[in-house]
Amino acid sequence: MTFSGPSPQEKVTIACAVCALLFILATNATAQAEESSAKDTLPISSVICGPIAVRQTLMHYGISESLLTLFDEIRPSRSNAGSNLHSISDSLAKRGIHAKAAHIGSEVQIDWDYPVIVHLTGDSSSSGHFVVYLPSKDKGKICQLDGNGRERMADWRTAASERSGVVLLTAPSKPTDWNAAFKPDLQQSWITLSLYAMAATILSLFGIAAFLKKG
């Protein structure tokens, strides 16, 4: 029985398609949490959400502070501008709260024992705003505070799709490893590995076909 393999042109087309797939998978698979200095400036957010997020975080640590004080302290010199990560981090540090900024992908889950200030993406008329994630007993859920202090429980993947990628971890004392807050999505990792295996199988089949054709 003679096996008729693909033509040289078909081989080139298939090889290009497989290489493109592997490139996309490799790019996604290597996306990891990248640490960022707490002095980095975020895109300007809405005017009041930064001070509210700081106040909610401080309340979790048993520290009371007026919103007006935080507003005057955190807002930039332009009164119509919003907060940035620099001013938020400094405001927390003044009150003894340690903070560490990081940039993470949507495939990363946040699992932290203390409040996390998260920057969410905005629409065409806004550069986003800050919210607070509180520790959740359900590791598959995110407990998010809105501007009025109401808790919203959401699946962590749904919440992750709303993030801009910039987060500010907080802690009452300096942790030994800030990166312990970030967990990879095992489900996504399994899908990625499955796609790699599929691509490898396709390449192997074409290799066998070429060998049989020569025979």
Residue pLDDT, tens place only, 27-36? 444 444 444 4
Question: What is the distance between the alpha carbons of residues 96 and 76, in angstroms, rounded to a whole number?
Answer: 22
State yes or no: pLDDT of 149 exceeds 70: yes
| Chain length of the chain | 215
- Average pLDDT, integer, range 130-157: 87
State CA 166 to chain mean position distance.
Answer: 7
Q: What does pTM read for this prediction?
A: 0.66
Question: What is the distance between the alpha carbons of residues 140 and 203, in angstroms, rounded to a whole number?
Answer: 37
CATH architecture of the domain 48-187 equals: Alpha-Beta Complex (3.90)
Buried/exposed 67-83: b ≥16 CB within 10 Å, e otherwise: eeebbeebbbeeeeebb
Listed by start position, the domains of the chain span: 48-187
State yes or no: pLDDT of 100 exceeds 70: yes
* 8 Å CB contact between 95 and 63: yes
User: CA of 97: how far to CAs of 69, 82, 100, 174, in Å?
Assistant: 17, 22, 10, 9
